Structures are given as C-alpha cells and as structure tokens.
Amino acid sequence: MPTGVAIRDARAQLFDAAERVLLRDGPSALTSRAVTTEAGCAKGVLHRHFTDFDAFLAELVLDRIARLDGQAAALRDSAGTRTVADNLTDALTDLFGPVAVAIVGLVTSRDELRARLRGTTPTGIPVLTEAAAVIAGYLAAERALGRVAAGADVEALAPALIGAGHMLFADRKGVPPEAGAVRKAVTTVLTAAV
C-alpha cells in the first residue's frame, strides 16, 4: 500500500486481519508481517498505532474480552427463562466460538502477552477468567431466583463449566461439539446445584 494513503479504522482492520491469520494458520503464524499483509497495508501502519507487536496483541485480546460484556448482559437477562442447562449450553457455545478459542491459544502460547495482560487479568488465563466471571454472574442471578441451590458455590461452578467447555471446543481445526455434548457437560457439572 502506498504511503500517505489514509486507512479507515486501522485498529479494527488490523484486529480483523489478526483474527483471520489466527483462524487460518494458528498462533505461531501470527507475526506483524502476517497481520499487515493480511490487512493489505504497510508494516509501519501497525507500529504507528501500537508501540510494538506485543502491545498490538494485548490490545487485540482486551478488545475481544470487552466483547464479552454483551454476552454477559444477554446471559444475565436469560435468568429465569428456559432451563439453566439450556441457557448455559447456549452461552458456552457462544463463548467458545472459533475466534475465542484461537485467542485462548494465542494467550497460552505467548508468555510476554500473558505478562502484559496481568494488569487486567491478574490470575488465570485471560479471556477464560473473564468468561468464568460471566458464568458466575449468571449462576448468581439464577441462585437468587431459586433455580440454583442456595448453597451452590457459583464461584467454583463457573470455572468448572469454562474448563469443561474449553475441553470440548479447544480443537481449533476440528468440528465443534454438538449441542448435546455441551449440554451433557453442563448438566454433569451442575448435578448437585440445580
């Protein structure tokens, strides 16, 4: 791309390009050159908007974490409707879309990236930790409605559900699990709580 040509919303274009590289080639193929080539722009564009490539990756992950807010609101709003297992099955399926699974792979494969994200996610794996908080919030709402046992430890159940969900969806190139398999994992984890 010639220099001096304005790029609309360069950050979004670069983030979208990074997601495409991640989905197609995996975390090890994600380089600044791969991202800018995929975005169809000069390499300098990335460095004009971010101090370095790890800063770019951290902002990408934080942007994707911020998108969990919409999913959290929708899940909280579903409290008291359908069954708890149905709501959680749908939520895990939404949470573990291909991009989220690829982002988790990226975070776990890059020590420097995890270190940069410790300011917002001091423990656990960024994205998964925030997803567990989404699930815990939903379970607390259901507990308040009496649809989850009063003594249920939602702070322990949520990471168990996220772990089970991640195990089901973690194969980046494979076929996602069927809803029945996700539902079985949900009902197994929630057996004593619902």
CATH number at residue 135: 1.10.357
Token digits of residue 137: 């919030």
Distance CA 11, CA 49 (A): 7
Helix count and strand count (H, E) for the chain: 11, 0
pLDDT of residue 7: 58
Residues 161 and 133 in one domain: yes
How does DSSP assign 152-190, residue by residue? --HHHHHHHHHHHHHHHH--TTSPPPPHHHHHHHHHHHH
Residues 32 and 114 in one domain: no
Residue 136 within any structural domain of the chain: yes
pLDDT above 90 as % of the chain:
82
pLDDT of residue 149: 95
Give the pLDDT confidence of 13-50 residue by residue, as tens digits.
999 999 999 999 999 999 999 999 999 999 899 989 99
Residue 4 within any structural domain of the chain: no
Residues 42 and 95 in one domain: no
Distance CA 190, CA 173 (A): 29
Per-residue pLDDT of the chain (194 residues; tens, 9 = 90+): 444 445 568 999 999 999 999 999 999 999 999 999 999 999 899 989 999 999 999 999 999 999 999 999 999 999 999 999 999 999 999 999 999 999 999 999 999 999 999 999 999 999 999 999 999 999 999 999 999 999 999 999 999 999 999 999 987 677 889 999 999 999 999 987 87
pLDDT of residue 6: 52
Q: What is the number of domains present in the chain?
A: 2
**Domain range for 44:** 10-49
Residue 1 within any structural domain of the chain: no
Residue 169 within any structural domain of the chain: yes
Residues 123 and 75 in one domain: yes
Q: What CATH number is given to the structural domain containing 34?
A: 1.10.10.60
Residue 2 within any structural domain of the chain: no
Token digits of residue 5: 């040509």
Residues 172 and 137 in one domain: yes
Residues 119 and 92 in one domain: yes
Residues 40 and 99 in one domain: no
Residues 67 and 157 in one domain: yes
